[in-house]
């Protein structure tokens, strides 16, 4: 597992994308575009809607698929909003659902939450 701790600023998504590209390259995964997209969206959500420090964890699940986990200290779990073509936001989680094998979120016992996504093989 590789871990990056980020301050909750507008620079967090960029740093997370760079970290992801580096780690996926180290793992021999040359096509990491979707991983960077997923990481960017989840870290952006943590920055915009979460609280406190953001922790990005990258690992390989037992089935061999890459797993992205983003922790923040906020209590509210993310929700997919009804489709609204006039909205200027709210499309990130439906996109995550479309490009990953699975995703979800769960509260952490000591506070905060983890939003995770398993990338398709």
| pLDDT tens-digit readout, 61-118 | 999 999 999 999 998 898 776 776 665 565 678 889 999 999 999 999 999 999 999 9
**In degrees to the nearest 10, what's the CA dihedral of 36, 14, 90, 102?**
30
Would the pLDDT of 31 be above 70?
yes
Please, which pLDDT band fits residue 120 given cuts at 50, 70 and 90?
confident
Name residue, tokens 């507008």: 10
Cβ count near 57 (within 10 Å)? 15
CATH number 1.10.645.10 given to 2-119:
no
pTM of the model: 0.92
Note the pLDDT of residue 43. Answer: 98
Would the pLDDT of 121 be above 70?
no
Q: What is the distance between the alpha carbons of residues 77 and 114, in angstroms, rounded to a whole number?
A: 9
Q: Cα 34 to chain center, whole Å?
A: 11
Name residue, tokens 């986990």: 69
Domain ranges of the chain: 2-119
Q: 16 vs 20, 31, 86, 120, CA distance in Å?
A: 6, 16, 29, 19
With beta carbons less than 8 A apart as the criterion, state whether 4 and 16 touch.
yes
């Amino acid at each position: 597992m590789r871990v990056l701790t980020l301050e909750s600023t507008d620079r967090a998504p960029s740093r997370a994308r760079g970290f992801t590209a580096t780690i996926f390259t180290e793992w021999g995964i040359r096509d990491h575009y979707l991983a960077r997209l997923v990481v960017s969206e989840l870290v952006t959500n943590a920055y915009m809607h979460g609280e406190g420090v953001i922790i990005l964890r990258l690992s390989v699940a037992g089935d061999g698929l890459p797993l992205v986990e983003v922790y923040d200290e906020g209590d509210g779990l993310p929700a997919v909003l009804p489709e609204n073509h006039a909205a200027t936001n709210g499309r990130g989680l439906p996109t995550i659902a479309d490009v990953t094998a699975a995703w979800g979120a769960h509260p952490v016992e000591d506070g905060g939450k983890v939003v995770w996504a398993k990338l398709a093989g």
